[in-house]
């Protein structure tokens, strides 16, 4: 991803000299489980309110699971599908509906679907905080459009916690 030039210049110097001024530790903002739960619950509630039995997964900025909620009548595979969608949204930094479109229309991006853990099905969206992606949320078990809306409902619910 493109970063500010200040940061980049520092990094280059750092690579060149490996001096005592090397920045050994970097600070990173991560999604809390508390916010992840709010997001997951809102996403599941949205789908249930529309009459669907779905699974929801929330992952952190590395793509690791924070929260899973599976409706007892949703198929177990929906957990893995939701997890993959949330992971995809984090890795490719866009909703999976956009990822699906982009990889379908651009032949050079199509092989991105072959990366392990990636799934090009709508229903996953990134979670932002202060303009930065700090996680992803995804729904699985309804249609791709509805899953996308449920995930967005979850992300929206969490937004106020992540400012």
Q: How many residues line the site for a copy of itself (CB under 8 A)?
A: 86
Site for a copy of itself in 56-95 (CB under 8 A): 60, 62-73, 75-77, 79-81, 90-91
**CA 163 to the chain's CA centroid:** 17
Residue 143 is given by DSSP the state: -
Tokens for 162? 């992540």
| Residue 100 in the binding site for a copy of itself (CB under 8 A) | yes
CB burial string 76-113: b at 16+ within 10 A, e below: eebbbbbbbbbbbbbbbebbbbbbbeebeeeeeeeebe
Smallest separation, CB 156 to a copy of itself (Å): 13
| Residue 23 in the binding site for a copy of itself (CB under 8 A) | yes
Smallest separation, CB 123 to a copy of itself (Å): 11
Tokens for 66? 């924070």
User: Using the rule CB under 8 A, which residue among 86, 134, 137, 151 binds a copy of itself?
Assistant: 134
| Residue 128 in the binding site for a copy of itself (CB under 8 A) | no
């Amino acid at each position: 991803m493109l970063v500010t030039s200040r940061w980049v210049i520092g990094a280059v110097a750092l690579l060149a000299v490996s001096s005592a001024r090397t920045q050994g530790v970097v600070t990173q903002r991560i999604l809390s489980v508390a916010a992840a739960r709010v997001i997951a619950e809102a996403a599941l509630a949205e789908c249930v309110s529309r009459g669907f039995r779905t699974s929801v997964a929330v992952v952190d900025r590395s793509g690791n699971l924070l929260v899973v909620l599976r409706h007892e009548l949703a198929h177990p595979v929906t957990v893995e599908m939701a997890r993959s969608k949330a992971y995809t949204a984090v890795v490719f930094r866009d909703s999976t509906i956009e990822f699906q479109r982009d990889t379908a229309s651009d032949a050079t991006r199509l092989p991105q679907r072959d990366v392990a853990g990636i799934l090009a099905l709508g229903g996953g969206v990134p979670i932002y905080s202060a303009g930065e992606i700090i996680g992803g949320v995804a729904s699985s078990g309804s249609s791709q459009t509805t899953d996308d809306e449920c995930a967005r409902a979850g992300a929206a619910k969490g937004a106020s916690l992540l400012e």
